């Protein structure tokens, strides 16, 4: 067996501790699997005193770059999160010819193509399975197992926080505020939940998946992003009555006009596999010309799931180094992919309005929809839950350009027939992606 592989871990939070425990407790098994013993030789943490008590025999530092630069560290495992100093540490490690394993979706979404090219340049390896989907091995599937396919679409539920909240609002009738408070109490949501509830986290992950699936350089700024703050418990009741479930769906697909990249709450048919993904589970559906559609589902977060993906990447790197094989090279990518304007995307739409409870409202609204060429599929009027002089009007449309719905809503803002637009949700059918 070759010499031990020296590992430096940046961050000993919940996931970092899980990785450390796995490497220390399963040393013999891992060595037999990859042909090289793994040794965590140093770690970087914010609070040195607190962590030194947990791992007294290890070098502990509050300077992550010092760990990267150690001569006895050949593999850097970055688990700090955030953009900096994580991106700088990864860049320094790769520039020194050291391979890196990371779970950092923000860094990979914003800097992935550049860092992967840097790894190629210095005969190093950058692995990031844990950056999307936790324990779901979707990165490896896109990199290896589906390489023979021309991927046409990716549909995913890739944020456990919002999926947990949506499940609570749907199953228990919880309000947005109550669902968020419960998610925070259970540790599924941060004290500042912005990245999750506004879709930013999912946009990072979708840009990574789209970059791999379409062999293109996709930035998170190119993903249209909407959050779940406007959802009310009654929207889930209305959706169910219409034969749909609401899910925070991340969608990337090829169109004749370019890539359609979106993250937003979406109505999906109850028969769609995505409708059955509940709680903190994640799921990714990939459609390709040869495979058809394959769906992967599993835990998207948590120490165990994320540590599993990180350790698997470590073992893969260690095994490659032990065998003397060269790193996998970055293939050709489209650095300026065409993007389909959202206004031109044809979708169905769900709209909930608060309207005055008086005669003539439906006719007035119908005229605005007709003027923009938007065909109404269904209309449902229910009493407003709080105001006796108002009603909720739920309208669904047939397929039309998203921009036409924009114009309808702009016109209705000036109309006395609408008190307030409660929510706008797009409707997806998986058959549109197969």
> What is the 3 state secondary structure string of 44-57?
ECCCHHHHHCCCCC
Exactly one of 98, 105, 110, 205 is catalytic; name it. 205
3-state secondary structure of 301: coil
Active site (annotated) includes residue 413: no
| Cβ–Cβ < 8 Å for 131, 139 | yes
Alpha helices in 96-253 (DSSP H): 105-121, 138-140, 160-171, 176-185, 194-197, 200-214, 233-241
3-state secondary structure of 339: strand
CA angle 269, 245, 344 (to 5 degrees): 65
Give the integer Cα–Cα distance in Å for 306 and 210: 21
DSSP string, 225-284: E--STT--HHHHHHHHHTTEEEEEEEEEEEETTEEEEEEEEEEEETTSGGGG--TTEEEE
Residues annotated as catalytic (active site), given as ranges? 205
């Amino acid at each position: 067996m070759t010499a031990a592989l020296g590992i430096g871990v940046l961050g000993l939070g919940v996931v970092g501790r899980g990785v450390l425990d796995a490497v220390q407790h399963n040393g013999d098994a891992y060595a037999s699997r990859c042909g090289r013993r793994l040794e965590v030789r140093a770690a970087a943490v914010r609070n040195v005193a607190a962590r030194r008590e947990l791992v007294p025999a290890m070098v502990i530092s509050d300077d992550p770059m010092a760990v990267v630069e150690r001569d006895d560290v050949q593999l850097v495992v970055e688990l700090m999160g955030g953009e900096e100093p994580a991106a700088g540490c990864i860049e320094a490690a790769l520039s020194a010819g050291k391979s890196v394993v990371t779970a950092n979706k923000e860094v990979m979404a914003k800097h992935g193509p550049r860092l992967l090219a840097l790894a190629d340049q210095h005969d190093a390896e950058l692995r990031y399975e844990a950056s999307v989907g936790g324990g779901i091995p979707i990165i490896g599937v896109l990199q290896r197992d589906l390489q023979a396919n021309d991927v046409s679409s990716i549909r995913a539920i890739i944020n456990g926080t919002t999926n947990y909240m949506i499940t609570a609002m749907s199953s228990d009738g919880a309000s947005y505020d109550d669902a968020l408070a419960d998610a925070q109490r259970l540790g599924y949501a941060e004290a500042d939940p912005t990245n999750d509830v506004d879709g930013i986290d999912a946009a990072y992950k979708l840009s990574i998946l789209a970059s791999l699936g379409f062999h293109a350089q996709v930035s998170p700024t190119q993903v249209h992003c909407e959050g779940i703050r406007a959802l009310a418990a009654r929207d889930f009741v209305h959706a169910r009555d219409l034969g749909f479930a609401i899910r925070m769906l991340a969608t990337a697909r090829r169109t004749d006009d370019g890539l359609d990249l979106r993250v937003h709450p979406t109505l999906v048919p109850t028969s769609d596999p995505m409708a059955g993904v509940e709680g903190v589970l994640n799921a990714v559906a990939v459609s390709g010309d040869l495979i058809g559609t394959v769906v992967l589902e599993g835990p998207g977060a948590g120490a165990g799931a994320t540590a599993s993906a990180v350790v698997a990447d470590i073992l893969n790197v260690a095994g490659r180094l032990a065998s003397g094989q060269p790193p996998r090279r970055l293939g050709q990518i489209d650095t300026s992919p065409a993007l389909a304007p959202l206004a031109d995307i044809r979708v169905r739409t769900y709209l909930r309005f608060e309207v005055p409870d008086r005669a003539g409202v439906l006719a007035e609204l119908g005229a605005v929809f007709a003027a923009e060429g938007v065909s109404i599929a269904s209309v449902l009027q229910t009493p407003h839950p709080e105001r006796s002089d108002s009603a909720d009007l739920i309208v669904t449309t047939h397929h039309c350009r998203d921009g036409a719905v924009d114009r309808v809503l702009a016109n209705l803002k000036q109309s006395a027939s609408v008190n307030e637009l409660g929510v706008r949700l797009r409707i997806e059918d998986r058959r549109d992606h197969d």
